[in-house]
Chains A and B, each alone.
Chain A
Amino acid sequence: MNSKELRRGGHFLVHHPGPDQVFIREDFGEEQRMMFQAAADFMKSEVEPHLQRFEQGDYGLVEDLLHKAGNLGLLGLSVPEEFGGMGMGFNVSMLICEEISSMTGSLATAFGAHTGIGTLPIQYYGSQAIKDRFLAKIASGEWISCYNLTEPGAGSDANSGKTMAVLSSDGQHYEITGQKIWISNAGFAQVFIVFARIEDDKNISCFVFHKDDVQGLTMNAEEHKMGIKSSSTRQVFYDKVRVPADSMLGQRGDGFKIAVNVLNAGRIKLAAATNGAAFKVIGLMSRYANERQQFGKNIGEFGAIQEKIARCTALVYATDAALYRAGDAIERLQNALLAEGKSEAEAKLKGLEEFAVECAILKVYGSEVMALVADEGVQVYGGMGYSADAPMEAAYRDARISRIYEGTNEINRMLIVDMMLRKALKGHVDLLGPARKVAAELMEIPDFGSEEPTGFLAPETKILMQLKKANLLVAGAAVQHYGTALVDEQEALMRLADMAMEVYVLESDLLKTQRLSARLSDQENEIRGILGTLQAHHAAEKCLSAGREVIMGLPENDEQRMMLMGLRRFTKTPSVNLKNLRRKVAQYVLDKGKYPF
């Protein structure tokens, strides 16, 4: 694969990088690892001792932790050095986000809202004067920021907001009036980023102000939520809030673009957050299984518990691989664009936009893996899992929001397919040619081994390549049948997204393990290889069931029957004793008493 192809996002169905072309968390250098360790020390000394307080609506604790994190420089990692930040790359900011988000969703949400959607609109779209005024104080945590987009009638359909911004007759100010809802950090934020419509513009605009500079801003009390109990979440009311005309971020009508672009970063970082939480929950689960005795044995000795631990571990390992692969792809493109002379903001935004498909995939996959991990965590704890005195109950409630915020998983699934098809239509990625080839292959005698993968994880790589074909087959059939009406076939879009996600995540998993193999012992390679086998079988099953649903939604005819046969062929897996493999993985995790990779 040449360097041009490495700069493209959303083309993983038709391009196949090698293990030397991806980044894995083990590639982080000493400095980055030291930063991670500092974040881990911070969590251990400042967060872990107070875990119960997060369940009691202790907003002051979260506010205090944000200030402390700011003192350590943890809030300004990707803010440029000239604005008081560290100027670090995107991927290390994910690594820190992972650790800060690992113990409680309350802090994860506050941290994400501040460093992501609360910082990036200013960093990428603010004028020099705005950046000079706000960025350093946001990076240091002296000021906390909140992002006011959602309205009672404008959630997923964010561009439909009713909040208005009216230009004063002298052209010096805008007066903002409207209602915002679910605003994270609102209770203690100084900086407000708000989206409002000017006149009857098609797209909303974006403004930033300091709370003390305005009048007419009021808030409701804290919302009562299912989880993330100490993340401040309020409704914010704007009654003719006057802001200077030059406090606009970007140009008039840029608001929706800003919202969409910073959400790309928010989505993949949410996957970093759930990754960190999943590591911790697997650790808790395995230690509990090592201690809890029933029928005279540790429950970790029972197959029913072991398979839960193994299943969760395999999925988390794969997600982790995809996470840092995508984060690196973004960072590499950003750096390349900077080197070509693009501005900081342009380069950063373009990097995120190009890999928007991967960002959405990680958001959905990460949050759903976390949902399973939290659920199984509760189950392994049994009755104690349901008790608020043990940590699983909070983990379970906190995990639930991840499938909703930063764009619901349904919206993100539609985006995944929509963006991939757009890339194909624009000619950025050739999906149609390969799709036709796959359709033609159906008419031929099955291909016996002309391009068989070889080496470590060869059978799994073969499954991966076949799954790519299954994706092209099903997506091609859906596009051909529905045409532009595919956008209204949401059920099909959900499943096409599922298939694409499985391919990206499985490929990342296998590439990671292949990349690492030379650095590890035989035993470590064996376990990681098993994780790849488990993930390959999982992906094949998912692709089969999702693909079947899409094809069965098409007209019943010979073509449909042929496609179903083709799908079965492309999702076929060799017979493997998955039970024994899961037992091995579980034993390894239980021996270590933590997520061991």
Chain B
Amino acid sequence: MNILVCLSQVPDTTTKIAFSADNKSLNKTGVQYIINPYDELALTKALELNEATGGGTVTVIHVGGADAEPVLRKALAIGADQAVRIEAEPLDSRQVAAELAAYIQGQSYDLVLTGRESIDYNCGLVGGMLSQYLDWPLVNVATSIDPAGQAGVLAVSRDMDGGREKVEVSLPAVITCQKELTEPRIPNMRGIMAARSKPLQVVSPQGIGPDLSLLSHALPPARQACRYFEADQMDALVEALRQQAKVL
């Protein structure tokens, strides 16, 4: 299969988030970027699917600036065959999905994998929008993806409330990836060295604009310290829940 994996880069989970002075952008000083963990699972699964059948290519794609190239090269080190970067600075999910769709329509992929969401903005929209733009079937939040026994069909599991659903989907399709799908791979040294010579293509954007405009960011309010009430202070507790926490 020729598989396209959509990658975004996100701040490392240990990053202390801070914003620029006007609260309109993330303060990127000292921020370590990683491949969005759900996207990394998508990449690993793409490699596994092709390794099992012994054919096909895995391409990773990102919509964003050149500062994302290290994570694309990491994806190449992990095993992707080539990388594409669409030279745009998207502000919302639709812009990303539209740019991706425009690129994909000119290519011949059998399968597009994305993470279920990115762990920075957590919108979880790109996969769905992409399937709409491409008019391809979508399976959301997949926990397993396997060949279904007949060519051009994949068997996919997805978690539901209290159970698991198994579906089959005809290709081409968009599948978004959830935890449990597989374990991420550590790139080996040979892979890292090989990444140097793999193609990383920069593609001009369609120039699709955002639907939204950003007003400001804000950090969540600092967590309050715990207050303890003795067992004989029930009145004070009720009072605090009413007056301060305003939950009663």
Contact surface of A with B, Cβ cutoff 8 Å: 30-31, 34-35, 38, 41-42, 45, 71-74, 76-77, 86, 88, 521
8 residue pairs, one from A and one from B, having the closest CB atoms: A73-B189, A72-B188, A41-B186, A73-B188, A86-B189, A38-B186, A34-B192, A38-B187
Contacts of A35 in B (CB 8 A): 189, 192
Give which listed residue, B29, B186, B190, B192, contacts A31 with CB less than 8 A. B192
Which of B69-77, B132-140, B239-247 makes up part of the contact surface? B69-77
In this assembly, does B166 line the interface, its C-beta being within 8 Å of a C-beta of chain A?
A: no
Q: Which residue of B lies closest to A72 (CB)?
A: B188
Interface string of B27-55 (1 = CB under 8 A from A): 00100000000000000000000000000
The distance from the CB of A496 to the nearest CB of chain B, in whole angstroms, is 41
> Can you name 18 extra interface pairs (CB under 8 A) apart from A31-B192, A34-B74?
A30-B73, A31-B193, A31-B195, A31-B196, A34-B187, A34-B192, A35-B189, A38-B186, A38-B192, A41-B186, A42-B186, A45-B186, A72-B186, A72-B189, A73-B190, A77-B189, A86-B189, A521-B29
Residues of chain B from 184 to 212 with CB closer than 8 A to chain A in the complex: 186-190, 192-193, 195-196
The distance from the CB of A219 to the nearest CB of chain B, in whole angstroms, is 32
Report 8 cross-chain contacts, Cβ distance below 8 Å, ordered by A residue: A30-B73, A34-B77, A34-B187, A38-B77, A38-B188, A42-B186, A71-B188, A77-B189
Contacts of B77 in A (CB 8 A): 34, 38
Alpha-carbon separation in the docked complex, A315 to B186 (Å): 32
Contacts of B187 in A (CB 8 A): 34, 38
Most buried by A among B77, B192, B193, B195: B192
Alpha-carbon separation in the docked complex, A396 to B26 (Å): 41
Alpha-carbon separation in the docked complex, A41 to B35 (Å): 13
Contacts of B189 in A (CB 8 A): 35, 38, 72-74, 76-77, 86, 88
The distance from the CB of B32 to the nearest CB of chain A, in whole angstroms, is 9
Contacts of A77 in B (CB 8 A): 189
Q: Which residue of B lies closest to A591 (CB)?
A: B16
Contacts of B74 in A (CB 8 A): 34
Alpha-carbon separation in the docked complex, A589 to B196 (Å): 36
Residues of chain B from 155 to 193 with CB closer than 8 A to chain A in the complex: 186-190, 192-193
Q: Which residue of A lies closest to B29 (CB)?
A: A521
Alpha-carbon separation in the docked complex, A31 to B196 (Å): 8
Alpha-carbon separation in the docked complex, A77 to B190 (Å): 9
Q: Which residue of B lies closest to A71 (CB)?
A: B188
With known contacts A30-B70, A34-B73, A521-B29, A86–B186 Cβ distance under 8 A: no
Contacts of B192 in A (CB 8 A): 31, 34-35, 38
The distance from the CB of B228 to the nearest CB of chain A, in whole angstroms, is 15
Q: Which residue of B lies closest to A40 (CB)?
A: B186
Alpha-carbon separation in the docked complex, A73 to B192 (Å): 10
Q: Which residue of B lies closest to A75 (CB)?
A: B189
Q: Which residue of B lies closest to A86 (CB)?
A: B189
Contacts of A74 in B (CB 8 A): 189
Alpha-carbon separation in the docked complex, A395 to B77 (Å): 34
Q: Which residue of A lies closest to B196 (CB)?
A: A31
Contacts of B73 in A (CB 8 A): 30, 34
Q: Are B29 and A86 in contact (CB under 8 A)?
A: no
Q: Are A86 and B193 in contact (CB under 8 A)?
A: yes
Alpha-carbon separation in the docked complex, A521 to B18 (Å): 16
Alpha-carbon separation in the docked complex, A30 to B74 (Å): 10
Contacts of A71 in B (CB 8 A): 188
Alpha-carbon separation in the docked complex, A76 to B70 (Å): 24
Alpha-carbon separation in the docked complex, A38 to B187 (Å): 6
Q: Are A86 and B190 in contact (CB under 8 A)?
A: yes
Alpha-carbon separation in the docked complex, A35 to B193 (Å): 9
The distance from the CB of A543 to the nearest CB of chain B, in whole angstroms, is 36
The distance from the CB of A26 to the nearest CB of chain B, in whole angstroms, is 13
The distance from the CB of B95 to the nearest CB of chain A, in whole angstroms, is 28
Contacts of A31 in B (CB 8 A): 192-193, 195-196
The distance from the CB of B29 to the nearest CB of chain A, in whole angstroms, is 7
The distance from the CB of A45 to the nearest CB of chain B, in whole angstroms, is 7
Alpha-carbon separation in the docked complex, A596 to B195 (Å): 29
Alpha-carbon separation in the docked complex, A254 to B119 (Å): 58
Alpha-carbon separation in the docked complex, A45 to B187 (Å): 13
Contacts of A34 in B (CB 8 A): 70, 73-74, 77, 187, 192, 195
Alpha-carbon separation in the docked complex, A449 to B70 (Å): 48
Residues of chain B from 94 to 142 with CB closer than 8 A to chain A in the complex: none
The distance from the CB of A276 to the nearest CB of chain B, in whole angstroms, is 17
Contacts of B186 in A (CB 8 A): 38, 41-42, 45, 72
Alpha-carbon separation in the docked complex, A521 to B193 (Å): 32
Q: Which residue of A lies closest to B193 (CB)?
A: A86
Residues of chain B from 207 to 223 with CB closer than 8 A to chain A in the complex: none
The distance from the CB of B80 to the nearest CB of chain A, in whole angstroms, is 14
